[in-house]
Amino acid sequence: MTRDDSFPALTRRSLLTGAVGVAISALSPRSASALAPAGFNQWRDAFRARALAGGVSDATYSHVMGSIEPDMSVFAQLGNQPEFKEETWQYINRRVSDWRIINGKAALQKNAVLFSRIEHDFGVERGTLLALWGVESAYGDPLVQQNHMRPVFPSLAALAWRAPRRQAYWQTELINALKIVDRGWGTPEQMRGSWAGAMGNTQWMPEVWLNVGFDYDGDGRVSPFGKPDDALGSTARYLVSRGKYRRNEHWGYEVVGLGSSNGGNRSYAQWATAGVARADGRPFPRPNDTAKSWRPEPGGPSFLLGPNFYAVRSYNPSMNYALAIVHLGDRILGGGPFIHPFPGSERALTLAEVQEVQTRLTRAGFDTGGTDGRVGNDTMKAVKDFQTREGLPADGYAGLKVLARLRSL
């Protein structure tokens, strides 16, 4: 998405990935029923009773579902394995990018009052919320919504009808989305998101929008789109209520002296007594807080992880995702890179270097989707195609080796 960041997986957003938008007209044309696959119209008519029993009005069901065509492309997404196999350091570098750090600082400056209010009300550190916002929607970039999201009702209708697994989940999410329209919080035309139905600044699934989202800006509705107040306030609420986020505790620290230990839960004071220290040499500020040890890869950096790391993980079950979020949050607030590198890693490219990669790839005939310094699916595909042409390992990673080869042409 150039914006072309890929969006990660499961839990409150479920199976989420970046997707090319489809026409809004798929929601309403009269010809849609005629184009629907065999059996869909009968299912849709039968599903009305369940939706109404779930609290959806007959008028809303008719308006949204009356002539809808299911987006059958979701099934290719549902079964698709990731196209790009990233090493841990590549995963971190791409998400903790120079672009996100720079623009995260700008987003903080622009919304400083909002983040202070959220910290006061919920105790969720601003760095964590900034990182989630940056990774999930490039800080609410409207071009993401306009150009790279699809209407969610055709997607949810297809999944509710024919999903090979978790069909009850998708049916419930379709009803939740219909309830949102019923409440006047969003229209079918506004409700654009991923193929799996996640929407807005922090990529809410309908269930989260309906049950955790709240009107933080006082405008009488709950919206994950546009002005970030509802999305960020509700995301903080989510981290506290479902992730058990703890006020005033840091997520954890990079450490040295861990040895072979991995997973034990002790206080920071006990870890220190056992010879574990922060990699930056500073003391643990809250020695009685507890943390678990974790080394993502042999020979790589080691960490002590507090409960708030796992609160972030409640947003997405990937350990690497959670590490990228908390590290990006630290970097936006002025922290440095990890002190101990991952094995075989390169430093991340600067914003100017990423733009140079994109510009040189574009000149060489590879479509990066733009030259804005954001690396995601379009740029990664262009890199992979270039690597294939040049006989390089085709991992799609826009790094120093790719930049050097482009400069040599």
Same domain, 180 and 197: yes
Q: How far is CA 192 from the centre of its chain?
A: 15
Classify residue 373 as left (phi > 0), alpha (psi -120 to 50) or beta: left
Same domain, 131 and 154: yes
Same domain, 121 and 199: yes
Q: Which range of residues forms the domain containing residue 291?
A: 252-305
Same domain, 146 and 257: no
Six-digit token pair at 378?
């379009």
Q: Of 321, 344, 367, at which residue does a domain stop?
A: 344
How many domains are there within the chain? 3
Helix (H, G, I), strand (E, B) or coil at 388: helix
Pairwise CA distance, residues 11 & 5, whole Å? 19
Same domain, 290 and 362: no
Same domain, 266 and 209: no
* Residue recorded with tokens 């930056």: 280
Same domain, 237 and 356: no
- Kindly list the distances between the CA atom of residue 168 and the CA atoms of 123, 151, 160, 163, in Å, as whole numbers in the listed order: 35, 21, 7, 9
Give the residue from 64, 263, 286, 365 showing the smallest Cα distance to 272. 286
Same domain, 275 and 134: no
Q: Tell me the pLDDT of the chain (409 aa) as tens digits.
A: 233 343 333 344 443 333 322 222 333 333 344 467 899 999 999 999 999 999 999 999 999 999 999 999 998 877 654 445 789 999 999 999 999 999 999 999 999 999 999 999 999 999 999 999 999 999 999 887 777 789 999 999 999 999 988 999 999 999 999 999 999 999 999 999 998 999 999 999 999 999 999 999 999 999 999 999 999 999 999 999 999 999 999 999 999 999 876 668 999 999 999 999 999 999 999 999 999 999 999 999 999 999 999 999 999 999 999 999 999 999 999 999 999 999 999 999 999 999 999 999 999 999 999 999 999 889 999 999 999 999 999 999 999 999 999 999 9
Q: Cβ–Cβ contacts within 10 Å for residue 99, how many?
A: 20
Q: Report the length, in residues, of the chain.
A: 409
Same domain, 115 and 82: yes
Same domain, 394 and 292: no
Same domain, 205 and 322: yes
Same domain, 292 and 399: no
